[in-house]
Structure 1
Amino acid sequence: MEQLVLAFLLMMDIFLQSSYATLPHSLSKGSSLSVEKPNDVLKSSNGVFAAGFHSVGDNAYCFAVWFTQSAANSTIVWMANRDQPVNGRGSVVSLLGDGNLVLRDVGEIDTWESNTRWLSQVELALLDTGNLVLQTPDNDILWESFKFPTDTLLPYQQITRHAKLISPRSKSNYSSGWYSFYFDNDNLLHLLYNGPETSSAYWPDPSNCWPLGRYKFNNSRVAFFNSSGDFQSSDQFVFSAADLGIGPKRRLTMDFDGNLRLYSLQEKEGKWLVSWQAFSQPCSVHGVCGPNSICVHGLETISCSCLPGFKVKYAHDWSYGCEPKFNLSFDVTEWIFFALPNVNIYGFDLGTPLPKSEGECKKICVQSNSTCKAVSYINGTCQMKSMLFNAVRSPNLEGITYLMLPKNSLQSYNESEEKSTQAAPNCPSSSTSTTDIQLLERVYLHNQGNQFLLYLLWFVTVIGGIELFCICIGFFYLYRARGHTRRVYQGYDLFVAAAGFRKFTYNELKKATWSFSQEIGRGGYGIVYKGVLSDGRLVTWVREKNINASSSSNDHDIASTIEEILDPRVDAQYSMAKMEVLLAVALQCVQEEKDRRPTMSKVVEMLTRHDYT
């Protein structure tokens, strides 16, 4: 069975390689990639990377670069528009003539651009390193994706003072999440939780003012890892992959659970294995369960539960944590302390630890005018906490935390914990690979669409309605004023009745149109048939008559031509000048090229300009 699986994976790899082998490596000026064409994809010459539109939700796409050899959904390493997906219809990436690379949503709305201008030759190319670049024929790089990372670093791609990694929101939501890996103003690399309600730096340990082996006195702020798996930083932070050496394809990713991990690709299986990670205990990451909650370590997973007296805020997203069941807007005169063994709350300390007894610590906390929310008592000292954030429970934690709550507001801790834990989703083990992670589920927030496009659509609809109304009024006015009707043959207009052009009987029309055998269109005026007269095309005949008359300087010839075209039953009391205008308008409307025919509003304008009322 295992051999069959390996054979299948090998066949899939060969198929993918052959598919990508036919894809172009670059995009020239004036060319585009369309979201509606699956083959509109750039590939690196080594076949490892591809760039194009990648689905990130229901009818939502991002322009991205991804690994082609990873199993399941191709692993994305860069995105242009992670926080503003575009529509699955009509969206394109275009390299304009001025050298600017533009991502356009449906409706010609630019959602992202490279902000480059280069009038001479330039092309968009995907390099073997996974770097998407705009470059000249001399290989001068005008723009590169390596300078604008999203959540992933590739070998030799740098973190700098201007470039940082920002996690996705969840496994299926690629938009910007709560965690970032960056150089702070102290010239040290940091991991920061910047959640919906609070922020907290959690690496290096905030309680350690001088991180071991780290060097603050530098101003270069550069960090990267090489093809062997060695990470180096200007602040002297270093680490190495467990499978150190040239060979595996690697990526360093700021994962959505707040852990920074180095992955190595197992090409036969197409799976990523963790070869280094910042935290072996996932609960050490701040904000993983949100405020007013407890993160609990398990054998392979972690779980989130609300603190006693609190309830989960959004069951689908534990980033928002829990909210109190009690109301603090009333004057609370009596407080109780609920004991939480083996629980510690990291950060948000009120002052330095105090060498007090438990009773003295609780008394000081009550007297803080609600500034103190809890007291952690460890090894004979107590620490006041201003926020119930980053609470962790583990059998290995010594000491006890006392949670301060209004009296008569507390249900049984066991009941509260059991209810919350059942509602809490599981978080990943730090040792699992990205493809196997089952983390806190967070609903993908689809792009709400371009509001400008919506307003524009409504505007165009209203204007179109007004124009249609005006055209109808214009036709009604002409109809009432002259009592003529309009017929259409082979896409051209003939004014009849009061206008004075020749009328045809039913039998004449039937003969002229081959018994109505060739229908060429349908419209508001009925069916349109292709037709000719026995002595040639009607339009050709009328146009030739008009040309011959116009070339003559004799007014009698012009009048004679118009009389020949007019129905003989028309009363002779008509304006010759107005008939000339009607004839000119009719001949414009029967131009062979539709772009040369006037619009109906233009027809009305020409008639009213000559006082045809």
Structure 2
Amino acid sequence: MQVDRGKIFLVSPDTIFSCGFYSPGEGTNAYYFSIWFTHSSDSTVVWTANPGSPVNGHGSKISFNREGNLLLTDVNGTTVWESKTNWGKDTSVALLNSGNLVVRASTGQVLWQSFDSPTDTLLPSQPLRRDTKLISRSSFDKVDSQSGCHQLYFDNDNVLRLLYNGPDITSIYWPSPDYNAIQNGRTRFNSSKIAVLDDEGIFSSSDGFRMIASDSGFGIKRRITINNDGNFRMYSLNAANGNWTVTGEGVLQMCYVHGLCGENGICEYSHPQGFKCTCPSGYEMTDTENWSKGCSPAFSMNCGQPREDFTFIKIPHGDFYGSDLTSNKSISFEECMSICLHSCLCLSFTYKAGEGLCYTKDRLYNGQVYPYFPGDSYVKLPKEIAPISSASKHSSLTCSPKNNKVMLVSEDAYMKKTDKIKWIYFYVFAAILGAVELLFIMTGWYFLFKMHSIPKSMEEGYKMITSQFRRFTYHELVEATGKFKEELGKGGSGTVYRGILGDKKIVAIKKLKDVRQGEEEFWAEVTLIGRINHINLVRMWGFCSEGKHRLLVYEYVENESLDKYLFSNRRNETVLSWSQRFKIALGTARGLAYLHHECLEWVVHCDVKPENILLTRDFEAKIADFGLSKLSKRDSVSFNVTHMRGTMGYMAPEWALNLPINAKVDVYSYGVVLLEIVTGSRVSSEITIEEIDFMQFVQEVKQMLARGGELDMVDARLKGHFNHEQATVMVKIAVSCLEERSKRPTMDQIVKDLMVYDDEDNHPAYFF
């Protein structure tokens, strides 16, 4: 059997996959023997037999000979690739529905399969093992004649890693090389070394890493691909238009990818693109179409030049990871700069002032600027090519909008008294200018709000705009809490304390426990949580991450948690009215619907219970502790009883059954909470792991609803003062939430069902 160019060799029985000759684009005579998605808009390639060795489109052949060997030959008869089976007669070749190309013996034994030699993509059920790896392509969306520099593989310590294997350097960048396996949430003790993507959209690794597709569920075609930008992502295929959507990714902060901006290049965080590459002053982009080629110096340095000829350009919060020439502790900035000046090989140094840490660099790779890095980088340049005017062209390197120039520093600026005086004059002048500017701003605010009488609601809106999510120091939070004096509550994720910040704002500060993430991953997760803003969710104002300390700073909610009002036996305790209960049920549903359906990244709470529903002064519901499932590794590989997260009684059966977890676990928990709001008692205390008693209770409730009689389960403390229609629909919804997973409603549907019975006219309209 022979196939010439442009011909399809095999198609899978379900037509999802095709294999044959594939061209990377028009205008080229280079072809590859590949497997691709038949119905994707760009015929996405998932495997290639001959990456790096294209064959001629005129006369090249793929054949399956009598010995059962697949052969790819070029036009001149040269064998470019072969399966090396040579089994003999009675062999067959087939492309399976899984996308696996196999050569079988007559007995059914698999003699060779493409799944054993992945290129840059994993398909569902295709394992990544100890002896295989994914290697990126040098081109993003087509087969390319050159392999890329990034690899996904299992290291010698059994951990799944990403490696930059460039022409000049090799370095690991994921998980964070600054932390050990345990700190990164991995285990080194499972030596099976296997990672698999399943049909439901869950990518699991033997070291504990787990990625769940944001659209997890059966019936969607997916793939895991390592891209040429060094990140590996999960893609889901839209069957209607053939386009791919990213539904998961390994590296959350792209600037941590090594080699992304090339040698001498700097990666900066940028919205909405996510990141951008720049060159420091004195350097120019090497290839205007390819940032991975980095930046080239527009100058030359030699060891004979006197040190007075050099200066340094400061890159605030910048660093070039790795390539340390020397490292020193507890030294001054001047000493650090002097070390670099006196070294012919030194091109830059990074200095962390608080700790007096000094790192000199002989190569500038993996450059990045990020606002929470506790140091600065200083690039060494000849003075004649580093004028102030040229520095101003690289203002994107500064993190503060008030500073529109990259700062130039030299040894003389720190060693000579006259230059110190000049800087003092400069700062005094800047301070005076800033004070005048502040005076104008304050005057403007005064006239804006006092003279024109802007409504209070608008004033609050301006205040919200000017506030921002920020990072706190541990010392700040120790002072704010009076050394953690006033405890507000304690839960599975940590202890909450009352605090007062420097601006007199009252906050709730949670000291987290069992956080095993590294700095990079923790920062990425809390930054994501900090962007979530909804009226029915507790707002996060910031975080602290110093050494072993991990703390979160939240808005303070006055009326404590829902459980205090539902289950307290104290006399004179406030009894929630029926209208308050319905409002709390609706507000909680709205908050969960926002997390499940409207957030930029899919968020599952995993611990919905009355203790995590806080009440404002007006008894509006605010959900707390959302997003903490990732911080405490609740999405780990093992979802058995000993590793369950949440609270017994509110946990869906799939936790105990070791089934994949999705948003429906929150729906189940909400159903239990809804019953407790109606009854005013701990329904959850009746639930056992076997659920026998509780399911009997649910059946009784169903029978009661079927009879259509009076609800005798409503909290007796209300003395019959409740809305019967609202109570009935709440119980019906609660029961539906407790069904098996596939039959449970979504949270947006629950919101719609409750709003039909909302008798308050002052609620805003919500659409989902």
Under a length normalisation based on structure 2, what TM-score does the superposition of the two structures give?
0.48
- Tell me, yes or no, if structure 1 residue 298 matches structure 2 residue 267: no
SS at 1:41 equivalent: strand
Contact 1:83 1:176 in 2 (8 A): yes
Q: 2:87 aligns with which of 118, 138, 152?
A: 118
Q: What's 1:163 paired with?
A: 132
In the alignment, which of 284, 287, 295 is matched to residue 322 of structure 1? Answer: 295
Q: Report what 1:32 is aligned to.
A: 2
Give the distance between the partners of 2:269 and 2:206, measured in 1 at CA: 34
What residue identity is the alignment partner of 1:180?
Answer: Q
1:107: how far off? 1.3
The alpha-carbon deviation at position 185 of structure 1 amounts to: 1.6
Aligned residue in 1 for 2:382: 406
**Structure 1 residues 175-210: Cα deviation after superposition (integer angstroms, max 9, x where no partner):** 311111001122211101112322221111111133
In 1, distance between residues paired with 2:300 and 2:153? 39
2:20 to 52, 76, 79: 52
Contact 1:42–1:125 (8 Å) recurs in 2:
yes
Corresponding position: 1:355 with 2:330 = yes
Of residues 151, 154, 172 in structure 1, which corresponds to 2:120? 151
Task: Supply the AA of the counterpart residue of 1:271.
Answer: N
Deviation of residue 320 (structure 1)? 2.0
- Given that 2:197 and 2:204 are in contact with CA atoms closer than 8 Å, whether structure 1 keeps it comes out as yes
Q: Which residue of 1 aligns with 2:98?
A: 129
Q: State the AA in 1 paired with 2:33.
A: F
How far apart are the structure 1 equivalents of 2:174 and 2:353? 22
2:35 to 58, 65, 80: 65
Residue 245 of structure 1, CA deviation: 1.8
d(CA) in 2 for partners of 1:159 and 1:352?
A: 38
Name segments (4+ residues, structure 1) moved above 6 Å.
none
- Whole-angstrom distance in 1 between the partners of 2:216 and 2:56: 42
Q: Distance in 1 between matches of 2:161 and 2:329?
A: 29
CA-CA distance at 1:415 after TM superposition: 5.6
In the alignment, structure 2 segments of 5+ residues that lack a partner are 398-527, 529-598, 601-768
Q: 1: CA distance between counterparts of 2:345 and 2:303?
A: 12
Structure 1: distance between partners of 2:39 and 2:208: 33
Asked if structure 1 preserves the Cα contact closer than 8 Å seen for 2:347 and 2:364, the reply is: no
Higher relative contact order (CA 8 A, sep 6+): 1
Q: Partner residue of 2:205?
A: 233
Q: Does 1:176 align with 2:153?
A: no
The answer to whether the Cα contact below 8 Å between 1:167 and 1:176 also exists between their aligned partners in 2 is yes
**CA distance in 2 between partners of 1:202 and 1:419 (Å):** 25
Query: Does 2:181 correspond to 1:203?
Result: no
Q: What is the Cα deviation at residue 217 of structure 1?
A: 2.7
Structure 1 SS opposite 2:359 = strand
Determine the structure 1 residue equivalent to 2:165: 194
Counterpart code for 1:315: T
Alignment of 1:236-255 (within 5 A): 236-255=208-227
Letter in 1 for 2:335: E
How big is the shift at 1:352? 5.3
Q: Which residue type is aligned with residue 65 of structure 1?
A: I
Match of 2:561 in 1: none
2: CA distance, partners of 1:408 / 1:209: 44
Tell me how far 1:212 sits from its aligned partner.
2.7
Alignment of 1:414-429 (within 5 A): 414=391, 417=394
Distance 1:293 1:416, change over 3 A: farther
Q: Distance in 1 between matches of 2:348 and 2:16?
A: 53
CA RMSD of aligned residues (A): 2.5
Could you tell me whether the CA contact under 8 Å between 2:23 and 2:30 is conserved in 1? yes
Letter in 1 for 2:259: G
For 1:83, the equivalent position in structure 2 comes to 52
1: CA distance, partners of 2:324 / 2:178:
10
In structure 1, what residue type is equivalent to 2:116?
A: K
Taking the aligned partners of 1:214 and 1:353, their CA distance within structure 2 comes to 31
Q: Hey, what does 2:283 align to over in structure 1?
A: 310
Cα distance change on mapping 1:214 and 1:265 into 2, 3 Å:
same
Larger Rg: 1
TM (norm. structure 1) is 0.60
Instruction: Give the AA of the match of 2:80.
Output: T
The farther-off stretch of 384-393 and 61-70 is 384-393
Which range is displaced more, 207-216 or 367-376? 367-376
Q: Which residue of 2 aligns with 1:259?
A: 231
Pair 347,194 (structure 1): closer, same or farther in 2 beyond 3 Å: same
The answer to whether the 8 A contact 1:365-1:384 is kept is no
* 1:391 is the counterpart of 2:367: yes
1:32 CA drift (Å): 1.8
SS in structure 2 of the partner of residue 53 of structure 1: strand
What letter corresponds to residue 394 of structure 2 in structure 1?
E
What amino acid sits opposite 2:2 in the alignment? S
Distance 2:2 2:272 in 1: 47
Instruction: Give the aligned length.
Output: 390
The amino acid that maps onto 1:392 is Q
Partner of 2:319: 344
Q: 2:339 aligns with which of 357, 364, 371?
A: 364
Deviations 1:63-89 (A, max 9, x none): 111111211x20110001121111111
Deviation at 1:328, TM superposition (A): 2.2
Letter in 1 for 2:282: G
Distance 1:96 1:378 in 2: 69
Letter in 1 for 2:123: L
Per-residue deviation at 1:97?
1.4
- Residue of structure 2 in register with 1:512 after alignment: none
Are 2:326 and 2:360, in contact at CA under 8 Å, matched by a contact in 1?
no
Percentage of pairs with the same residue: 39
Deviations 1:436-479 (A, max 9, x none): xxxxxxxxxxxxxxxxxxxxxxxxxxxxxxxxxxxxxxxxxxxx
1:551-562 matches, within 5 Å, as none
Question: Residue 336 of structure 1: CA displacement?
Answer: 1.5
Q: Distance in 1 between matches of 2:69 and 2:116?
A: 17
Contact 2:333 2:351 in 1 (8 A): no
Q: Secondary structure at the match of 1:360?
A: helix
The aligned counterpart of 2:245 is: 273
Cα gap change, 1:235 to 1:164, in 2 (>3 Å):
same
Q: Secondary structure at the match of 1:408?
A: helix
**C-alpha spacing 1:204/1:176, structure 2 compared with 1 (3 Å):** same
Shift of 1:319: 1.8
The structural deviation recorded for 1:329 is 3.2
Quote the offset at 1:331 in angstroms: 1.0
CA distance in 2, matches of 1:46, 1:385: 58
| Equivalent-residue separation in structure 1 for 2:284 and 2:347 (angstroms) | 20
- Per-residue CA deviation, residues 560-585 of structure 1 (Å, 9 max, x unaligned), is xxxxxxxxxxxxxxxxxxxxxxxxxx
| Native 8 Å contact 1:306 1:416 kept in 2 | no
For 1:213, the aligned partner's letter is G
In 2: Cα distance, 1:310 partner to 1:372 partner: 12
